[in-house]
């Protein structure tokens, strides 16, 4: 069989299966990257919200000398 002839039978099935596996792996990699970016953005927003919250907390009054 030369390189120009299309695959047939089990060889065609194996080639199709490998193609699907390759696309699935690429999709999983993209999803992992997107999830990581989304999680990092969420953590940054949460940290900023916590910093704002802590900056707005009331402070204890300082005791005056002689009390």
Domain span holding position 22: 10-55
Number of residues written out for the chain: 67
Phi, psi at residue 59, to the nearest 5°? -105, 145
Q: How many folded domains does the chain comprise?
A: 1
The answer to the question of residue 15 being in a domain is yes
Query: How confident is the model at residue 62, as a pLDDT?
Result: 87
For position 52, what pLDDT does the model report? 95
With respect to residue 60, please indicate whether it lies within any of the assigned structural domains: no
**pLDDT of the residue at 2:** 61
Residue 14 is assigned to a structural domain of this protein: yes
- The pair phi, psi for residue 50, each rounded to 5°, is -65, -40
Which pLDDT score, from 0 to 100, does residue 34 have? Answer: 98
pLDDT for res 43: 98
Query: pLDDT per residue over 1-34, tens digit each?
Result: 567 788 899 999 999 999 999 999 999 999 999 9
Asked if residue 50 is part of any domain, the answer here is yes
CB 49 within 8 A of CB 41: no
Q: Is the residue at 27 inside a domain?
A: yes
Task: Specify if 43 maps to a domain.
Answer: yes
Residue 17 lies in a domain: yes
């Amino acid at each position: 069989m030369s390189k120009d002839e299309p695959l047939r039978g089990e060889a065609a099935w194996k080639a199709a299966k490998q193609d699907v596996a390759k696309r699935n792996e690429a999709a999983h990699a993209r999803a992992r990257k997107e999830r990581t970016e989304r999680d990092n953005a969420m953590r940054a927003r949460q940290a900023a919200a916590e910093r704002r919250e802590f900056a707005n907390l009331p402070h204890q009054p300082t005791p005056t000398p002689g009390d």
